[in-house]
Amino acid sequence: MTPGLQGHLAMLLFSALVAGSFSLGSMAANEIAPGALNAIRFGIAAVVIWAFVMASGGVPKGSWAAPWRYCVLGAIFGMYFVLMFEGLKTAPPVSAAAVFTLTPVLTAGFGWLLLRQILTPRMALALLIGGLGALWVIFRADFGAALAFEIGRGEMVYFVGCVCHATYTPLVRKLNRGESARVFSLGVLIAGCVIITIFSWSDIRATDWLGLPRIVWITIIYVSIFASASTFVLTQFAAMRLPSAKVMAYTYLVPSWVILWEAGLGNGLPLPWVAIGIFLTVVALLMLLRDA
């Protein structure tokens, strides 16, 4: 299996896991402060990754060189997650996923600025097709809904977070000095946990941890293990094997996964015509896979 194919498979799993955080996050967002939730989320994820690192031989000598790298990345990704949950207080899961699909284009821009990565015509076409497919899914094949779309406060807040996410992907490749995905992720998670804890200490102290609803703890466990620890490693792994724009192109699958999550949680299935959008996103991904 080529490194490029490995990166694509990692991001396919990434998109499915991330989608769950939208559906679960919207159910818990108004029950706990975003900073408090993400402080414990980063802490749990760091412990999980640390266990994997220790089981696979520990941290190689020199991995903690230039710790400012981990602080920069931890602050950026921590801001993304805090703003995501702040946005989900008012933005519906599918609407938030719509905003998330803007990250591939943003990432392509930051990839050029930081790494001078150039979009090939095939990649540009794939991003366009994937974007159209994602929009078709987001609005559930309803042109009226698309025309009536209005940007709410939650979507605007989350957009700022998506800018952070788009910056993070090329920075991983630029700041990595040969560390493995797990070790590099551990450094980012530890730094992110410390930074979020410092800035959210008042919210952490004010939270009634023992009185939180069950859905909050379900969300915390899910986003800590599956949407943090796992996706951190998957993103780092893919970013070292694929151009930044290709890594973030998999966000086009997230709205489709969100709809499946919503259906699984009992919120119903979309109209059959939505399958057209899903088909277009798959076509876009196959184009990227061929261009790997």
- Give the Cα separation of 42 and 223 in Å (integer): 9
- Dihedral angle at the C-alpha atoms of 188, 192, 194, 200, nearest 10 degrees? 180
pLDDT over 70 at 186, yes or no: yes
Mean pLDDT computed over every residue of the chain: 83
The pLDDT of residue 44: 93
The pLDDT of residue 124: 77
pLDDT over 90 at 99, yes or no: no
Backbone angles phi, psi at 176, to 5 degrees: -70, 135
The pLDDT of residue 71: 95
The pLDDT of residue 200: 95
Quick: pLDDT tens for 32-81.
999 999 999 999 989 988 998 898 888 888 888 889 999 999 999 999 99
The pLDDT of residue 114: 67
The pLDDT of residue 245: 66
Measured between alpha carbons, how far apart are the two ends of the chain, in Å? 12
Q: In the chain, where does DSSP find H-type helix?
A: 3-28, 34-55, 68-87, 93-100, 103-115, 121-138, 143-147, 153-175, 181-199, 201-206, 214-224, 230-239, 244-249, 254-264, 274-290
- Give the Cα separation of 284 and 211 in Å (integer): 45
Q: How confident is the model at residue 101 (pLDDT cuts 50, 70, 90)?
A: confident
Contacts of 125 (CB under 8 A, 6+ apart): 287
pLDDT over 90 at 218, yes or no: yes
The pLDDT of residue 149: 60
Q: What is the pTM of this model?
A: 0.80
The three-state secondary structure class of 180 is: coil
DSSP 88-106: TTTS-HHHHHHHHTTHHHH
